[in-house]
Amino acid sequence: MGSELAARLAARHLKLAQFCGFDLVELNLKSKGKKGVIKEIANLLAKSHNVESEEAAFEALIERENLASTGIGYGIAVPHGKSQHCKGLTIAFGRSIKGVNFGSIDGAPVHYLFGILVPITSVQLHLQIMASLSLLLQGEKNRKCLEIAQFPQEILDFLDGKE
């Protein structure tokens, strides 16, 4: 079984889209810098009933980002964090058409950002989601879906491992 297929099957099992939503997807981020796009991702996360405020989300994401870049290569960053102001796992997605210097491990600009926020007590779920998303993002065909998406539903389908 190919790795892309295995990743899609794992994603279908977890149904990552249940932690996201149409209003947590932005296909045209405006900011040109790392801090700005993290702020935009925090704003998306705050649209969820699970997240108390944009400020709390931003604080959690930037605190983690200050430890080391969450730019994982291939034009992808996964800013993530834990917060006492978060009631449940929440995932947001943003796409930067021009790309942002994120200090990624491969030095490439970041175009696709998955923001993940979890309650402080959800360490195991946090790790499981990060692993599942990493698997899904490994496949070039899977990453292409992020580039060509025209509607938030396509991102939600991606998160659920659908083609």
Strands 76-77 and 110-119: parallel
Per-residue model confidence as pLDDT tens digits over 59-86: 999 999 999 999 999 999 999 999 999 9
pLDDT at residue 126, rounded to an integer: 77
Q: Stretch 123-139: mean pLDDT, rounded?
A: 82
Q: Stretch 147-157: mean pLDDT, rounded?
A: 95
For residue 45, which phi and psi values (nearest 5 degrees)? Answer: -60, -40
| pTM for the structure as a whole | 0.90
To the nearest whole number, what is the mean pLDDT of the chain?
A: 89
pLDDT value at 117 more than 90: yes
| Stretch (H or E) spanning 1 | none
Per-residue model confidence as pLDDT tens digits over 19-74: 999 999 999 999 999 999 999 999 999 999 999 999 999 999 999 999 999 999 99
Q: How confident is the model at residue 1 (pLDDT cuts 50, 70, 90)?
A: very low
pLDDT at residue 14, rounded to an integer: 67
Strands 80-83 and 110-119: parallel
By annotation, the residues acting in catalysis are 80
Q: Stretch 148-158: mean pLDDT, rounded?
A: 95
Given a contact cutoff of 8 angstroms between Cβ atoms, the answer to whether 120 and 83 are in contact is yes
Enumerate domains of the chain plus CATH numbers: 3-159 (3.40.930.10)
